[in-house]
Amino acid sequence: MKFQYSALLALAASAYAAPPTQSIKEVARQASAGCSSAVTIDASTNPFKKYTLHPNTFYRKEVEAAVAAITDSSLAASAAKVADVGSFLWIDTIANIAKVEPAIADVPCTNILGLVIYDLPGRDCAAKASNGELKVGEIDKYKSQYIDPIVTLLKAHPNTAFALLIEPDSLPNLVTNADLTTCKDSASGYEEGVAYALKSLNLPNVVMYIDAGHGGWLGWDANLKPGAQGLAKVYKAAGSPKQVRGFSTNTAGWNAWDQSPGEFSTASDAKYNKCQNEKIYVDTFAPLLKAAGMPNHAIIDTGRNAVTGLRKEWGDWCNVAGAGFGVRPTADTGDELADAFVWIKPGGESDGTSDSSATRYDSFCGKDDAFKPSPEAGTWNQAYFEALVKNAKPAF
Ligand code: BGC
């Protein structure tokens, strides 16, 4: 995932552990899977008031393996608690669709399983770290081998509730990085792909949020309206699907929720961006989305935004050194437009490799404020995870 600046515009940005043998707790969790009848999510209300974001089994296993590798017993005890925090599961390749079925197995009726849909052709067009498996032009493959099988799976589990984040940083890139050849080439596939995903995944047991970057990206004066119109255009192209609830922020790059003055408010270009914290961004972007004809409630990733003052530039998105786990998932946001704080990026999974000889090496991952060494995007970085635990606010 990525970002960068262009003129006034800022921007930004799994391996999982081998399954341990099933614990008694795990068997008990599985026994509690699903509701006794079909789930219908009313996307005109806040689904996170009704459902708790599920601590998915894949992240749980990553965390459990990480805890086993920690020798400091007090840190290990804190880290172990992370396994119980709800977070989204990323379906970042066709092969990883195989994670969905096992992830559904332990979701109780009170919980909602969060999934990130992330495999567009020409993915991560403004950066390299998360370039995906599908090439520009492979839209038919995206539809038939990626989206369609996910639709089949979600339909096969009507008694489970799902929250989907649709394609992080794709539509924001079309607003701020449209001048890059890679983004120009990807544009029609992104729009067609996101519209297809929204239309096809419009199922009663699903609620969807479309990624809208963060305040340091689409929050710039020049980006707000085009950003809202860009999302609404694709939403309408999909036939205005009923199960779309709004947008999601703070995953591809992040900010504190309501720190005031905002972290970058003394920067020389701050006068061009009124969205100096994520709350202002949500409250500013939402009315524009509504005016453009799209539902406008937000979920905000607080998985890594506990510590500020770490980045040299707002657009620095890769493995920010010193970051800490933030507020745990909750529907108690104090803002009617903000449905929930959620954990979307699984803390401990890398944003990108710091190995400058790697094909997907992005220079943002080599910056002074990026943690090094870091492995390939999506793979586990034990030292980074431990730092997130140590720097967590609230503390674990
Ligand atoms: C990576 C994905 C990964 C996701 C969550 C992205 O930056 O490209 O492969 O699943 O982060 O860690």
Q: Is 169 a catalytic residue?
A: yes
Q: Is 124 a catalytic residue?
A: yes
Residue 1 counted as domain residue: no
pLDDT of 18: 44
Residue 354 counted as domain residue: no
- pTM to 2 decimals? 0.93
Q: Are 103 and 157 in contact (CB under 8 A)?
A: no
Distance 381 CA to ligand 1 centre (A): 12
Question: Residue 169's closest CA among 287, 13, 55?
Answer: 13
**Atom 3 of ligand 1, residue of closest alpha carbon:** 378
Residue 315 counted as domain residue: yes
What are the pLDDT tens digits along the chain (396 aa)? Answer: 544 433 334 333 343 444 445 566 665 555 557 999 999 999 999 999 999 999 999 999 999 999 999 999 999 999 999 999 999 999 999 999 999 999 999 999 999 999 999 999 999 999 999 999 999 999 999 999 999 999 999 999 999 999 999 999 999 999 999 999 999 999 999 999 999 999 999 999 999 999 999 999 999 999 999 999 999 999 999 999 999 999 999 999 999 999 999 999 999 999 999 999 999 999 999 999 999 999 999 999 999 999 999 999 999 999 999 999 999 999 999 999 999 999 999 999 999 999 999 999 999 999 999 999 999 999 999 999 999 999 999 999
Q: Which domain holds residue 328?
A: 7-348+380-390
Residue 369 counted as domain residue: no
**Ligand 1 pocket test target in 92, 123, 342, 361 with most atoms within 8 Å of CB:** 92
Can you tell me which atom of ligand 1 is nearest the CA of 350?
A: 12
Can you tell me which atom of ligand 1 is nearest the CA of 123?
A: 8
Kindly report, residue by residue over 111-144, the tens digit of the pLDDT.
999 999 999 999 999 999 999 999 999 999 999 9
Distance 235 CA to ligand 1 centre (A): 24
Tell me the three state secondary structure of residue 50: helix
Measured in degrees and rounded to the nearest 5, phi and psi for residue 249 equal -135, 165
**Atom 2 of ligand 1, residue of closest alpha carbon:** 378
pLDDT of 33: 77
pLDDT of 78: 98
pLDDT of 23: 62
**CATH number of the domain encompassing residue 259:** 3.20.20.40
DSSP character string of 197-240: HHHHT--TTEEEEEE---TTTTTBHHHHHHHHHHHHHHHHHTT-
pLDDT of 1: 52
Kindly report, residue by residue over 328-385, the tens digit of the pLDDT.
999 999 999 999 999 999 999 999 999 999 999 999 999 999 999 999 999 999 999 9
Catalytic residue among 92, 124, 211, 362: 124
Residue 330 counted as domain residue: yes
Residue 210 counted as domain residue: yes
Cα–Cα distances in angstroms (integers) from residue 203 to residues 4, 33, 40, 198, 206, in the given order: 35, 19, 9, 10, 5
Residue 367 counted as domain residue: no
Ligand 1 interacting residues, C-beta cut-off 6 A: 1, 14, 90, 92, 130, 345-346, 349, 351, 377-378
Residue 211 counted as domain residue: yes
How many Å apart are CA 212 and CA 227, to the nearest integer? 8
Total domains in the fold of the chain: 1
